[in-house]
Amino acid sequence: MACRKDDETELQQLANECKKMKVKLRPPDIDEGEMDFSIRYADNEEYVGEIIYGLSALKNVGEKAAGNIMSERNLNGNYTSFMDFLKRVDLRLVNKKALESLIFAGAFDSVEINRRKLFLNIERATFYAQRYSTSEEAKGQEDLFGVNKTKQHIEEYIIENHTEFPESEKYNKEKAAIGFYVTGHPLSKYERDINNFIDLTFGEDPAEIELAKMKSATMCGVINDVQVKVSKKGNKFVVFNLVDLYGSGECIAFSRLYESKTKLFENDTAVIIKGVPEDNGDKIKLIAEEIYSIDTFLEIFTKNLIIHLNEHKTDVSKLDIIKDVVEKNPGNSNLFFNIINGSGPRAFKSKEYRIKATKELISNLKNIVGENNLNLN
């Protein structure tokens, strides 16, 4: 992984291989991270070991800042808080840009899980830490009675509370700092919903697929690196990177599609694209012909919605709640109930209701029956 840290697709593929091998890939960590990728062996049912992302591999951090973080930690022990970290490292080396990358990458998660809280407190906290570095206490002249409780209260006051980033924004910022998604992916919450609609991913090897015979493909991903260009005829078109759960690849959308769906061609937007796949060396390239937000795509293309219910664990009140939700979302898609009991599953198609697979309907049904008891196709 250290040799492939500049190749986003290869890193994502290696991360997927780690999952298959029961090796946990962890983000960089101020208390456990080393200069490069490091290994921790484990002996439990869930994982056989861990790989921790290297501190120096982070954007805007580098070897000097990573070295300062590690040497201070080795000399005086683990960091106990964000403020403790700022007071101990050299802020000329671990500057604001480096701090932002460390926060977005999750390097402080072991001391503070709320990344947005730390990000919004950088200036207040570093200002306090810089004043502390010139104080008598920092020079070794501690309070006569040991721990200064007034100082502790001041430091608690300095770090203001803020709500966390929305999930997709949190993961996109993590990717911007690390180069790929580690602790989560903006598409994860849609994975079960879109599984039956996606027929190609960027993790697949073009050499093993007959792309020339594929007239069309449906792919899903998060848009990155948007570049709007102008053709010789003066028409705007867009080139961008699409990041799915398995890798990433180049996509192109020509003027007619770009100009009619401009708002969807923005960085960090999760979309589903129908287009023509091409061989781009050792990667897949997609010429976009249609583009949709994921929620809009599911509304339009879902033909069947299947609810799985355990006959012995489903009472009348739950059925009444399902009925109420379904009635509020009429449409043209079929509604099926897959009833599970001791003798095996039985499927029933609703004769009374046809539905529209709206974001609201899908979310409400998942809350009622559970994430794994709802399927779309």
Query: Could you report how far apart the first and last alpha carbons of the chain are, in Å?
Result: 36
Which residue segments constitute the domains of the chain, with CATH numbers given? Answer: 8-178 (no CATH), 197-294 (2.40.50.140), 302-376 (no CATH)
Kindly tell me if the per-residue pLDDT of 150 is higher than 70: no
| Size (the chain), residues | 377
pLDDT digits (tens, 9 = 90+) for 66-86: 999 999 999 999 999 999 999
pLDDT digits (tens, 9 = 90+) for 299-319: 999 999 999 999 888 889 999
pTM across the whole model:
0.84
Tell me, what's the pLDDT at 144? 45
Contact assessment for residue 231 and residue 237, using Cβ atoms and an 8 Å cutoff: yes
Mean pLDDT of 250-279: 96
State the DSSP code for 166: P
